[in-house]
Amino acid sequence: MKSIIKPQFSHLLILLLTVFFRNSTGELTQAYKDSTDQIIENLRKRDCIIEYSYDGGVTSDTGLSVSVEQIRHHFGFGAAINWDSGFVKVGKEKYGNLVKEYFEWATPEDEMKWYYTDTTGNTPCGPQFYDHADSLVEWCLRNDINVRGHNLFWNERVEFQAYCARPYGPYASDESTEIKNLTPAQRDAFIGEMESRLEDMVTRYKDKVKHWDAVNEIVHFTTDNSAQRVVRTPGLLATWTGKTGNDGAEVFNWVMESARDIDPTVKMCVNEYNVIEKEHDEDAYISMIKKINEGAREDAKINIIGFEGHFGDLISRTPNGGYEGYEKLVNDIAEGVDLDNSEMEFWFTEIDWNNKAPGNTADNMEELLRFAFSREDFGGVLLWIWWEGRRWRDDLVSFLVDRNFNATETGLRWKELKDELWSTDTAGKVRDDAKFAFRGFHGKYLVTTEKGNCTQTDTVYLEPGTEEASIQIQLKEENFSDCITVNARQGNEPRVGFSGKTKFTINGNTISFRHTPLDNSNIYFTVYSLNGKLISKTPLDLVYNNVSGIMKSGCVVYRIETDNQVLYSKTGVQLKR
């Protein structure tokens, strides 16, 4: 069960206060920054304790230094990426370094789409072309970039189906609002091609993509870029397959159930435009989402509701003219689909806007990011354009990097929020109880632990949660055998449980040995005659790596032992006076 804000903040109060968080000219205000900062501190961060052990032991005073550096966020910061116009045109290193610098999630913009993978032009479809999609996915996996698969099917237009699969099209100008019914033979052939694509794509990228846009644009229909976008349910895929039940939701259930049978862990997403923008058909989107989930198998319901966010000439969180603002529309959709009582979450999936949009572009981007990051029902924000050299429309201005690959003001703002304000980087000393405490943003961390010339780096994940998190790190013997030692017990203080390599200095002799974890008994230097008679038993004073003791010389057996175990034994050695 979700809530838009944490319980300590009144939902009603926040909604009332937002009236004052944007001034009459629509500019981002300090009041909104302060408000979202407070929410984010509670929503996106968590207290954490790192507990250290060494071969299963627990220490009371290790002298360890720790640095904690966040390398990935739990929240998704991402963008669309391209093979030909990106990695090939710009160069893999240059383009790839920019992707790694700005993003932690990526969506292949075109390379997974059905019309892109089909290069045969024949009916029925032949083997599909996956080289570019494969290259993007493999590069992302090598560089720890999460992938959103985009898309299995696109419901909006005839030409978005593979040429080899569609029975006709594109449309003539006088057929702009028509979806033709297919003959039984055409319908069966189209279903067969859909089944082949489902099998190919989901199997090929199983365990490689985190999300699938199972069906893109589930309620809108058009014929070309200049035509009117209209709500049409049942839509194209439902009409062509004959799976028109529940106002066309039947075909979407079939797609998601088929995909789920192949990949039980990938998240299933739907995606739509004109639902939170200036032109908005949110009621149709709400209705179709509810119908899909009502008819879905329990394990094949919608996981993520996508808002494309092609804002065009008006992006505003709050009311602006006749536009209600995206905040109200998101809230209306959350209520309409009963998001609080579901396992679904929202993502912005294709964000952009053009040069006619009012306000400062960097401020607009920051406000959008703050809006999503301060809501529990949002999982991520992905940009559809981020480099000026790759824009699907020439008037778009919401890019982070200019044509010459220099950061724009908007790009600097994005990095400031993601990498500085909303990222954790801290360091300190391990406490006497072998614990290190910090408060950090949810996500993946590199934890570097050091003592002397010994070091170890571990990757850990701070999951979301309200209770203090506990993360266990075991220092490995090969990394710390020369640095971790046993400390003396102070009064009733438990003895260190670390095992490892210990050095003693006795009458100028250095004795070095490895041992198993020690119990809570005292440590003694004992001397025996050759026939086993105890000559002396002296408690040892351990000070980090050295032990000083004064023992008589002689031909004897000497041991270093506790009340319960012999740690070291040597026979017939003459010790120096």
Average pLDDT of the residues in 499-520: 56
- Asked if the 44-64+430-484 domain carries CATH number 3.40.50.280, the reply is no
Most confident of 102-111, 161-170, 176-185, 514-523: 102-111
Task: Answer yes or no: is pLDDT of 575 > 90.
Answer: no
Average pLDDT of the residues in 107-127: 92
What pairs with residue 543 in β-bridges?
Answer: 546
Q: Give the whole-angstrom CA distance, residue 508 versus residue 327.
A: 75
Within the chain, all domains assigned CATH 3.20.20.80 are found at 73-421
What does the longest C-alpha to C-alpha distance in the chain come to? 111
Going by pLDDT thresholds of 50, 70 and 90, the confidence category of residue 321 is very high
Out of 162-171, 300-309, 418-427, which region has the weakest mean confidence (pLDDT)? 162-171
Task: Answer yes or no: is pLDDT of 44 > 80.
Answer: yes
Q: What pLDDT is recorded for position 503?
A: 58
Q: What is the pLDDT of residues 227-248, one digit of tens each?
A: 678 899 999 999 999 999 999 9
Half-sphere exposure of 252 (CA within 13 A, CB side): 34
- % of the chain exceeding 90 in pLDDT: 68
Q: What pLDDT is recorded for position 556?
A: 74
Q: What pLDDT is recorded for position 171?
A: 53
Average pLDDT of the residues in 173-196: 83
Q: What is the pLDDT of residues 338-392, one digit of tens each?
A: 999 999 999 999 999 999 999 999 999 999 999 999 999 999 999 999 999 999 9
Task: Answer yes or no: is pLDDT of 549 > 70.
Answer: no
Q: What pLDDT is recorded for position 483?
A: 81
* Cis amide bond preceding 124, omega within 30: yes
CATH no., domain 73-421: 3.20.20.80
Q: What is the pLDDT of residues 419-441, one digit of tens each?
A: 999 999 999 999 988 899 999 99
Q: Which of 280, 336, 341, 343 is nearest to 307 (CA)?
A: 280
Task: Answer yes or no: is pLDDT of 519 > 50.
Answer: no
Q: Give the whole-angstrom CA distance, residue 83 versus residue 90.
A: 10
Q: Give the whole-angstrom CA distance, residue 357 versus residue 397.
A: 9
Task: Answer yes or no: is pLDDT of 146 > 80.
Answer: yes
Q: Which of 221, 299, 224 is nearest to 258 (CA)?
A: 299
Task: Answer yes or no: is pLDDT of 8 > 50.
Answer: no
Residue 274, Ramachandran bin (φ over 0: left; ψ between -120 and 50: alpha; else beta): left
Going by pLDDT thresholds of 50, 70 and 90, the confidence category of residue 222 is confident
Q: What is the pLDDT of residues 448-478, one digit of tens each?
A: 999 989 999 999 999 999 999 999 999 988 8
Q: Give the whole-angstrom CA distance, residue 511 versus residue 569.
A: 10
Which residues, 6+ apart, have CB-to-CB distance to 407 below 8 Å?
400, 401, 415
End-to-end CA gap in the chain: 74
What value, to the nearest 5°, has the Cα angle with vertex 212 and ends 209 and 214? 155
Going by pLDDT thresholds of 50, 70 and 90, the confidence category of residue 571 is low
Dihedral sign for Cα atoms in the order 473, 474, 480, 485: positive
Q: What pLDDT is recorded for position 568?
A: 73
Within the chain, all domains assigned CATH 2.60.40.2070 are found at 44-64+430-484
Q: What pLDDT is recorded for position 179?
A: 84
Within its chain, how far is the Cα of 355 from the centroid?
Answer: 31
Task: Answer yes or no: is pLDDT of 133 > 60.
Answer: yes
Average pLDDT of the residues in 72-77: 98
